[in-house]
Amino acid sequence: MHLNHKKKSKEEIFSVIGLLVVAICWGFGFLGLRYVDGLPTFYVQAIRFGIAALALAAVFFKHLKNVDKELLKAGILIGILMFACYVCATLGIKYTTASRTAFFSTLGAICVPLLNFVIYRIRLTRKSALCVVICVVGVYLISMGGSASLGFNIGDAICLGAAFFSAGQIVTIEKFAKSHDVYALTIIELATISVLGFAGIFVAGEAVPQALTGLELGTLILLGLVCSALCFILQTTAQKHVAANRVALILTVEPVVGAAASVMILHETLGIVGFGRIGQHLGVMAKAIGMNVIAFDIFHIPGIEEQLGIPYVEMDELLAKSDFISVHAPAVDGGALINAERIAKMKDGVCIINTSRGTNVDEAALLDALNSGKVRAAGLDVYADEPASNAALYSHPMVSCTPHIGAATVEAQKRIGAEIVDIITNFGK
């Protein structure tokens, strides 16, 4: 009895470690997806999971003889659920922000125990419930900074659907993994996703690329072998020994790893336009999380580059190098600082933030760039017209708006109050 318990504990420990490996690999997998971003979505899924299924079938081909009708149905069902999860996640991010996608997609930590209760009448323990709450709050704070709008849009709903499908995959694996061959089950799951991907190509009318670059091909192979074949076999095997509720909690590590990896490995660059006190503070915070930071300003403060480790660059260099551009300059004569000409000089997929003056950004040019995909997302606290009237821009799914509160600090409000008192006191003198 003691030996069996010891063996079970060891298997559970190794299973938890395996699931952490899965979460870490999937987190780093987000980086890989950036290198195939130009390829059709269904094409990527078809090739990636096709490679994974073929690789596992080549290694574990003897296990395919264990396939019966029940296992075949189970593998196909799990594959359909996972494919639906990927489709929802892909569609969702087109209609909401990346941070909200990360948050809603990780709500599987709630969806799994909910499905377990509805389908199997398995109640959630108090300890597990507390872990779920802590986990969800933590992911919210990390992915959305605790300050994102609580409004709910169509993109959020689609991403929530991704969470439910992911939870369904986890719950279904738990049902079949303990009594069926996990290798055959995983092969069928991955093959199903690949077949559905090829079907999606034709249904969506995707243009299949005639040739792939070496980087694209290498990325697809890596995604197929590591993030798909290895990770899915680890997940399925682990679920023989770890309850679905715990699996969902462990896998919420994925977006945290993805966010950290993005900063540490990609070394994304923040370009600050207007390097006064606000721009300087922003630069220090961005460097603290590992970002490269460059700045443009018509006035150069002596010694500030050495003090902060943030170099001044010319505007064209900032536009060409920055993944994120944050504007902190006063209003200027002669037109917007960020106009169509300057947007054209930026990286594809750049994010633009404006908390300075509304006229510093040409809103028509920004909207065109968002619609074309040149600009991935924008954050606006100020507007060309206030009250804001450009509904097409402000309601855009990849635009996050705040009601001109960037300067609403306690210190600023105190100074405004003091100025009002001075004006009233000195009125008529």
DSSP track, 179-237 = TS-HHHHHHHHHHHHHHHHHHHHHHHT----S---HHHHHHHHHIIIIIIIIHHHHHHH
The CA-based angle 266-138-177, given to 5 degrees, is: 85
Helix (H) or strand (E) holding 360, with range, is: none
Closest C-alpha among 293, 328, 295, 287 to residue 312: 295
DSSP track, 230-282 = IHHHHHHHHTTTS-HHHHHHHHTHHHHHHHHHHHHHH-PEEEEES-SHHHHHH
Q: What is the pLDDT of residue 104?
A: 66
How far does the chain reach from its first CA to its final CA, in angstroms? 94
Task: Read off the DSSP letter of residue 293.
Answer: E
Please say if the pLDDT value at position 147 is more than 50: no
* pLDDT tens digits for range 66-102: 888 999 999 999 999 999 988 887 777 666 655 566 6
Q: What is the mean pLDDT of residues 180-187?
A: 93
DSSP track, 23-41 = HHHHHHHHHHHHTTTTS-H
Please say if the pLDDT value at position 299 is more than 60: yes
Q: What is the pLDDT of residue 29?
A: 80
Please say if the pLDDT value at position 330 is more than 80: yes
Domains delineated in the chain = 2-264 (no CATH), 267-412 (3.40.50.720)
Mean pLDDT of the chain: 82
Provide the whole-model pTM.
Answer: 0.63
Q: What is the mean pLDDT of residues 238-261?
A: 79
What is the pLDDT confidence band of residue 149, given thresholds at 50, 70 and 90? very low
Residue 354 corresponds to which tokens in the numbers above?
Answer: 């404006």
Q: What is the pLDDT of residue 268?
A: 79
Please say if the pLDDT value at position 352 is more than 70: yes
User: Cα separation of 286 and 305, whole Å?
Assistant: 15
Contact 233, 56 (CB under 8 A): yes
Q: What is the pLDDT of residue 103?
A: 62
Torsions phi, psi for 6 (to 5 deg): -65, -45
- Helices then strands, each counted (H, E), the chain: 19, 6
Question: What's the length of the chain?
Answer: 429
Q: What is the pLDDT of residue 190?
A: 96
Q: At which residue do the structure tokens 């306690």 appear?
A: 410
Torsion angle (degrees, nearest 10) of CA 66, 69, 71, 73: 150
DSSP track, 134-170 = HHHHHHHHHHHTTTS-----HHHHHHHHHHHHHHHHH
Q: What is the mean pLDDT of residues 281-292?
A: 85
The crossing angle, in degrees rounded to 10, of helices 253-266 and 2-34 is 40
Binning the chain into helix, strand and coil, the percentages to the nearest 5 are 65, 5, 25
User: Cα separation of 359 and 339, whole Å?
Assistant: 10
Please say if the pLDDT value at position 59 is more than 80: yes
Cite the active site residues.
357, 386, 404
Please say if the pLDDT value at position 152 is more than 60: no
